[in-house]
Structure 1
Amino acid sequence: MSLNIGAHEGLPETRGAREGAPETKVAGAEQRIAVADFLSAFEAYKETNDARLAQMERRGADVLTTEQLTRIDAALDAHQARLDALATKARRPALGAAPERTADASQHGSAFDTYARHGEAGGLKALEAKALSAGSGADGGYLVPYEAEQEIGRRLSALSPIRALASVRVIGAGTYRKPFMTSGPASGWAAETAARPQTDSPVLAELAFPAMELYAMPAATQALLDDAQVNIEEWLAQEVDAAFAEQEGTAFVTGDGVAKPKGFLAYTKVADSAWAWDKVGYVATGAAGGFPSATPADPLIDLVYALKGGYRQNATFVMNRKTQGAVRKLKDENGNYLWSPPAGVGQPASLLGFPVAESEAMPDMAADAFAIAFGDFRRFYLVVDRAGVRVLRDPYSAKPYVLFYTTKRVGGGVQNFEAAKLLKFAAS
C-alpha cells in the first residue's frame, strides 16, 4: 500500500506551467493533482481501516495500524483543506475584471480611493449628500463602492459555510419581518350539492430578523496606501472577508441572538416525535457521545428519513471536520463506506448520497451534543444583509498604521422549522 501525500512532479501540465503556460492551465493542473492526491489518500484510508476492523474481529486492533489510520486521516484533512483553498481561490473573481462602471459608480470609486489613501472626504460627503444618505459622515464612516460591497459578499459566500447554504436577503431597513401561518384555513371534500360548512380563518404569526453590526479593523501602512498599483477596494475586501466569515459562521450556528444573529442550535430543541413549530427537531443516536457499536449507520439513516421528502431532495449534512473524520469510518451492512470523497475541486464530499458541508462552529461529538445537522438549509435558515458596507478611516489610534473600521449589518435565524433536523449523540 502506498500513500501519495506530497506533490506530484513531472506531469506535462506542471512542466508547461513552469515554461510559461497560461495561468488557467496551471490552475487546472493543480486542481487535478489535488483531486488525485485526495482519492489516493482515501483508498489508502479504506485499506487501512478495513485491516483495523479485521484485526478487531480477531484479537483487537493493532496499535501500529491504528496509528497509521490516524496519520492517513490527518493527511485526508490536509488534502481536503487544499481542495477547499483551491475552490475558494477559483470562486474569487478579481475586482478589476468587473464590468465597466457607470459615471456615478466611477465617481464614487474615485472619491473613496482618495479618502482611503489620503483621508480627504470631501468627494464622498458631496456624493452622499446628493444621494440623501442618512448616517454618513466622519463619525459613521462612508459607504464603500458597490463593486467592493459585492466582492465582500461573494467572498463571504465562499468562506462562510452556512451563508453558502442558506437563503440570503438584502434589506434596506433595520429588521426584516416575515409572516407565516401557524395554522392554515380548514379544507375538505364535499359532494356537488352538499352544504359547505364555514371554515376557520388562517392564524398568522410573524418572524423578525434584526440586522446586527459586524465589524473588522484591518490596518495598512501609509506606504501601501501611497502605492498607486494597489487596488484599495480589493485589498479591503481581502482583509475583511476572513474576519467577517469567521464571526458569521459561528453566529449562524450558535449565536444567541443578542447583538448577533440567532444560530439554529440556539433554538429550543425537541425529539422529532414531539416536534412543533418554533422548535428544531432531533433524532438521538441511542449511544451517549457516539454512534451505537452494533448498528452505527442507523442513526444517520433515521436522521435522513426524519425529514419530509420535499426538503430531503435538496438537503445537506453539516458537521465539523472532526465529526466528519469519525463518519468516514462507518460502513453499511454490505461493507460499503457511507462517506464518499469529493469528485473534484469545488465539489463537496457526500454521505449517504447527500453533500457534506463543513462548519467548524458545529460542536464535536460528545454526550448530548448536537454535532450533525441535516436539511434543506435554503428553506431552513435565512441570512439578512442590510445594504451597504461602511468604512471609517482612523490614522490616529495605531500610528504609524492607518486603521479602517469596517462595518456591515447582518442578521439571521430559522425561517422554516421543519426543513432541517439535528442528530443528538445521546441515548434518547
Structure 2
Amino acid sequence: MAVDIKDVEQVAQELQQKFDDFKAKNDKRVDAIEQEKGKLAGQVETLNGKLSELENLKSDLEKELLELKRPAGGAQNKLATEHKEAFVGFLRKGREDGLRDLERKALQVGTDEDGGYAVPEALDRNILTLLKDEVVMRQEATVITVGGSDYKKLVNLGGTASGWVGETDERSQTATSKLGLIEPFMGEIYGNPQATQKMLDDAFFNVEAWINSELATEFAEQEEIAFTTGDGTKKPKGFLAYESTDETDKVRAFGKLQHIVSGEVTAVTADAIIKLIYTLRKAHRTGAKFMMNNNSLFAIRLLKDSEGTWPAVQNDRYGSRLWLLQRSKLTNQLVQTVRGYIRECLQWMTDDGVVSRIDLDIRRTGINELGNSITLWRRDGPVMISFDDLWSAITHGGQ
C-alpha cells in the first residue's frame, strides 16, 4: 500500500507538537527545580548565618563565665577591661585618653563630676578583700553599701504587751513596741601613695599590686582604729567611744553599752569573765566572741582555778567560740533542773516529819565530773545518799 506524503507530514507534525509540549513541560519543571534550589540555597545561607551568630554568642558566654570564676569575681567585660587599662595608663603617664567616658560606661557606681577618676571595679574589690582579711571589726560587722551619707536604721526595742483572758472576755488594748533609730557616723578615708616616675616607667612594675598593697595596709590600720575608738568626727564612731554603764538591759537607755567591772583595778578575774558571759542575754550568746588585745589575752590564759587549770582556755578556742559558755550553760541547766525535781520528790518526807531537813550537794569536783549527794537529817543523825542511786530510784520507779 502506498504511503501518502500528507500522512507522513501529519505524523511528523504531531510528533513535533508532542515533543514541544514535553519540552515546555520539562522546562517548567527544570525551572521550578532551579527556583527551589535557589530558595533552598538562600535558606541554607541564612541558617549558616544564624549558626555563626550562635557560635559567637557561645564564645562570649564562655568568656564571661570564665571571668566570673576568677578569684577577683565579677564580669570584667570589654568596657571594664578598657577602663582598667586606661586607668593604669593614667597612673603611669598621666594620659586621660577618654578615661572619663570609659569609667561612665564600665562602672556600675556614680562618678565624681567635680574632678578625679573612679578606681576600676576589680581594683576596688581587691582592696576591700584585703581589708576584710586585715580588719577584725570589718570581719565581725555587717557591711552594707549605701548611696549617700544620710543612712538610718530602725531597731525594734520590744515592749509589745499581752495578757491572758477567757474565751468570751473583753480584750483591752495592749502596749505596742518601741522603735529606736541608729544613725551611723560617716566619713571618707583616702590614701595618697607616692611613687617615683622611674618606678612608673618600668614596664615590669605592677601598678595595680602596688596600689593594693599600699592602700590596703594603711586603710586597714585606720579602719581598725576608727571602728574601735573613733570619735565620730568625719570618721566612724568606735564602739569603745560610746557611753557605757553597769545598768541592766531593762533599765539602761537605748544607745548605751553595758560594762562589767573586772574585779580588780589592774587585772581581770575569772569571776568577772563568767559574770560577763551570763550577763549577756541568752539570745545573743550563740556565736558571741571575746574581743581583746594581746595583753588581755595573755593575762586571761594565765588564769587558773583551784586545781591549777581553767576550762575556758582548753583546746585553744579563744577567738572562735565561747567554749566556757557552752560547757557551763549545759551544766548549769542540768543542775538547776535536777535540784528542783529532787526537792519536789522528797518534800513529803519533811511534810510528814520523817526528816527534819534535806541538803542537796550538787557541785563540780573536777573539770569533767560532778560530785552529787543528798543528806537527810533524821533524829539519830544525818544520812547521806548517793545522787546517782536516788536519781535511778526516782526515774525508774525504785524505792
Tell me the TM-score normalised to structure 2 length.
Answer: 0.57
* 1:285 matched residue in structure 2: 262
* 1:186 matched residue in structure 2: 161
> How big is the shift at 1:183?
4.2
SS of residue paired to 1:339: helix
Q: Answer yes or no: is the 8 Å Cα contact 2:185–2:232 preserved in 1.
A: no
SS of residue paired to 2:143: strand
SS of residue paired to 2:170: coil
* 1:122 matched residue in structure 2: 97
**What amino acid is aligned across from residue 116 of structure 1 in structure 2?**
L
CA distance in structure 2 between the aligned counterparts of 1:281 and 1:150, rounded to whole angstroms? 36
CA distance in structure 2 between the aligned counterparts of 1:125 and 1:169, rounded to whole angstroms? 27
What is the RMSD computed on CA atoms of the aligned residues?
Answer: 2.9
Point out which structure has higher relative CO (alpha carbons under 8 A, 6+ apart). Answer: 1
**What amino acid is aligned across from residue 219 of structure 2 in structure 1?**
F
Mind listing any 5+ residue stretches in structure 2 that lack a counterpart?
A: 1-68, 327-399
SS of residue paired to 1:316: coil
Tell me the TM-score normalised to structure 1 length.
Answer: 0.53
* 1:310 matched residue in structure 2: 283
SS of residue paired to 2:272: helix
Q: Answer yes or no: is the 8 Å Cα contact 2:80–2:120 preserved in 1.
A: yes
* 2:307 matched residue in structure 1: 334
Alignment of 1:57-136 (within 5 A): 97-99=71-73, 101-130=76-105, 136=112
**Structure 1 residues 341, 102: CA separation in 2 closer, same or farther (over 3 Å shift)?**
farther
Per-residue deviation, residues 402-426 of structure 1 (Å, max 9, x unmatched): xxxxxxxxxxxxxxxxxxxxxxxxx
Mind listing any 5+ residue stretches in structure 1 that lack a counterpart?
A: 1-94, 356-428
**Structure 1 residues 133, 264: CA separation in 2 closer, same or farther (over 3 Å shift)?**
closer
SS of residue paired to 1:101: coil
Q: Answer yes or no: is the 8 Å Cα contact 2:123–2:212 preserved in 1.
A: yes
Choose between structure 1 and 2: higher helix proportion: 2
CA distance in structure 2 between the aligned counterparts of 1:342 and 1:290, rounded to whole angstroms? 21
Choose between structure 1 and 2: higher strand proportion: 1
**Structure 1 residues 309, 217: CA separation in 2 closer, same or farther (over 3 Å shift)?**
same
**What amino acid is aligned across from residue 145 of structure 2 in structure 1?**
V
CA distance in structure 1 between the aligned counterparts of 2:279 and 2:230, rounded to whole angstroms? 25
**What amino acid is aligned across from residue 166 of structure 1 in structure 2?**
A
Higher-Rg member (1/2): 2
* 2:122 matched residue in structure 1: 147
> How big is the shift at 1:133?
7.0
Aligned residues: 253
SS of residue paired to 2:163: coil
Q: Give identity over the alignment, percent.
A: 36
**Structure 1 residues 112, 154: CA separation in 2 closer, same or farther (over 3 Å shift)?**
same
Per-residue deviation, residues 195-251 of structure 1 (Å, max 9, x unmatched): 221233433332112420112221112222223333322221111111111111111
**What amino acid is aligned across from residue 146 of structure 1 in structure 2?**
E
**What amino acid is aligned across from residue 313 of structure 2 in structure 1?**
W
* 1:162 matched residue in structure 2: 137
Alignment of 1:28-427 (within 5 A): 97-99=71-73, 101-130=76-105, 136=112, 140-273=115-248, 274-291=251-268, 296-337=269-310, 338-340=312-314, 342=316, 348=319, 352-353=323-324
